[in-house]
Amino acid sequence: MSAPVVFDGVWKKFKQGERHDSLRDLIPSAIRALAGRNSFTDLQTEEFWAVEDVSFAVGAGEALGIIGPNGAGKSTILKLLTRILRPNRGRCAVSGRVGALIEIAAGFHPDLTGRENTYLQGALMGMTRAEVAAKFDEIVEFAGINAFVDTQVKRYSSGMNARLGFSIAAHLDPDVLIIDEVLSVGDMAFQEKCLQRMRRFKSQGVTIVFVSHNLQAVTELCDRALYLNRRPCLIGASSDVISRYVKDSFAVSSEAHQGEVQIASAELLHPDGTAVLDAVAPGARLRLSVTFEVVKAIDDVMFAFGVHRSTDQLLVYEGHFSQHELGLTTLTPGRFTVCFEFDSHLIRGQYYFAVFAAHRPTQRYLGRLRPAGHITISESRTWGGVADLNVNASLSTPAPTLSRVAGEPASVA
Partner 1 sequence: MSNPSVLASLWTDSREIVAEQYEYRELLFQLTKRDVLIRYKQAIMGFGWAVFMPLLNTAVFSVIFTRVAPLHVDVPYPLFAFLGLLTWNFTASALRFSVGALTGNINLVTKVYCPREVFTISSVLVTMIDTLVGSIVLVAIMLYYHIGPGWAVFYLPLVLLIQVAFTTAVGLFISMANLFYRDVKYLFELVITMWMFATSVLYPTNLITGATGLVLRINPMTAIIDGYRDVLLYGRSPLTPAFMWTSVASLAILLCSAIVFHRAEFRFAESV
Separation in Å, CA 39 to CA 31, 42, 361, 407: 13, 6, 67, 73
**Residue 412 sits in the site that holds partner 1 (CB under 8 A):** no
**196, 189 in Cβ contact below 8 A?**
no
Contact stretch for partner 1 (CB under 8 A) within 63-71, 78-86, 143-151, 200-208: 78-86
Biggest CA–CA distance in the chain, Å, is 101
For residue 9, the tally of other CB atoms under 10 A from its CB is 13
Cα–Cα dist 255/353, whole Å: 12
- Of the candidate residues 32, 37, 91, 109, the single one contacting partner 1 (CB under 8 A): 109
Q: How far is the CB of 217 from partner 1 (least distance, A)?
A: 21
- Of the candidate residues 32, 37, 91, 129, the single one contacting partner 1 (CB under 8 A): 129
- Of the candidate residues 1, 2, 18, 23, the single one contacting partner 1 (CB under 8 A): 23
Contact stretch for partner 1 (CB under 8 A) within 23-31, 65-73, 168-176, 229-237: 23-31
Q: Which of 225, 216, 208 is nearest to 66 (CA)?
A: 225
**Residue 141 sits in the site that holds partner 1 (CB under 8 A):** no
**Residue 284 sits in the site that holds partner 1 (CB under 8 A):** no
Q: How far is the CB of 102 from partner 1 (least distance, A)?
A: 6
Q: How far is the CB of 41 from partner 1 (least distance, A)?
A: 14
35 to 74: interface string for partner 1, x by CB under 8 A: ----------------------------------------
Contact stretch for partner 1 (CB under 8 A) within 106-114, 206-214, 249-257, 387-395: 106-114
Chain positions 331 to 390 lying near partner 1, rule: CB under 8 A, are none
Q: How far is the CB of 31 from partner 1 (least distance, A)?
A: 15
- CA 274 from centroid of its chain's CA atoms: 32
Contact stretch for partner 1 (CB under 8 A) within 17-25, 270-278, 332-340, 362-370: 17-25
- Of the candidate residues 57, 60, 123, 264, the single one contacting partner 1 (CB under 8 A): 123
Query: For residues 115 and 224, which CB has a smaller minimum distance to partner 1 in the complex?
Result: 115
Query: For residues 111 and 343, which CB has a smaller minimum distance to partner 1 in the complex?
Result: 111
**Residue 136 sits in the site that holds partner 1 (CB under 8 A):** no
**Residue 267 sits in the site that holds partner 1 (CB under 8 A):** no
**Residue 21 sits in the site that holds partner 1 (CB under 8 A):** yes
**Residue 84 sits in the site that holds partner 1 (CB under 8 A):** yes
**Residue 79 sits in the site that holds partner 1 (CB under 8 A):** yes
**Residue 324 sits in the site that holds partner 1 (CB under 8 A):** no
| Residues near 355 by beta carbon (within 8 Å), at least 6 away in sequence | 263, 266, 288, 290, 303, 304, 305, 306, 340, 368, 369, 370, 372
Binding residues vs partner 1 (CB under 8 A): 14-15, 19, 21-23, 25-26, 79, 82-86, 98, 100, 102-103, 106-107, 109, 111-112, 116, 119-120, 122-129
